[in-house]
Chain A
Amino acid sequence: QVQLVQSGAEVKKPGASVKVSCKASGYTFTSYGISWVRQAPGQGLEWMGWISAYNGNTNYAQKLQGRVTMTTDTSTSTAYMELRSLRSDDTAVYYCARAGNPSLAVANNWFDPWGQGTLVTVSS
């Protein structure tokens, strides 16, 4: 079955960087894009950006431009999200999610399935 398995919880100090991984299985990795979505404690969902696993094209949320980098490793079917210059308000659960329709880029696409989530805590 299609599955996304993410790396474990992280605790970081303000100003540091974090890199979260998302290993895909059960489908052809390069056929679908991956989005990253985060959820602060008790809050709603916030889209961070998208990467095409086919050609590496990216589309980042304007709010995070310059601090976030999304990459993929097709040899291991793994997507990565790196967030730099961490602040306390970056504390959240970070999810990767596969695009639902392989024929669409991120526009008009949906997310299915999602990874289990990775808690990133930023605290001094």
Chain B
Amino acid sequence: SYVLTQPPSVSVAPGQTARITCGGNNIGSKSVHWYQQKPGQAPVLVVYDDSDRPSGIPERFSGSNSGNTATLTISRVEAGDEADYYCQVWDSSSDRVVFGGGTKLTVL
């Protein structure tokens, strides 16, 4: 079955850039979506189709996808960005949705 690997945690100082990776075999051939989840809240879509942003999501959030790694980049990080972030793809070989294990972003 298809596995998505995310680092358990990423730490960054306010105003700096956070990069959260999502690794998978030839993930560059898939569409990757990213969600932000704050404690006690439902997930919120922040990037879809590798690099598109839903309305209402700041331009500070961007995505890229190539080879075996997809990346969510958060520029000019703010305290309010502190959350868990999950990547998601569709695995056509098993006909199922796959989520990464999640990355906890800490703003120092």
Interface residues of A (CB under 8 A from B): 35, 37, 44-47, 50, 59, 61-62, 95, 97, 100, 106-117
Q: Which of A44, A59, A100, A107 contacts B102 (CB 8 A)?
A: A44
- Complex CA–CA separation, A107 to B33 (angstroms): 12
- Complex CA–CA separation, A116 to B37 (angstroms): 12
CB A113 to nearest CB in B, in angstroms, measures 8
Over the window 72-108 of chain B, the binary record of Cβ atoms lying under 8 Å from chain A Cβ atoms (1 yes, 0 no) is: 0000000000000010101010111111111000000
27 contacts between A and B (CB under 8 A): A35-B97, A37-B99, A44-B100, A44-B101, A45-B43, A45-B99, A47-B96, A47-B99, A50-B97, A59-B96, A62-B96, A95-B42, A97-B43, A100-B33, A100-B48, A106-B90, A107-B90, A108-B90, A110-B33, A110-B88, A111-B45, A111-B88, A112-B45, A114-B42, A114-B43, A115-B42, A116-B42
Would A106 and B43 be within 8 Å (CB), given that A44-B86, A45-B102 are in contact? no
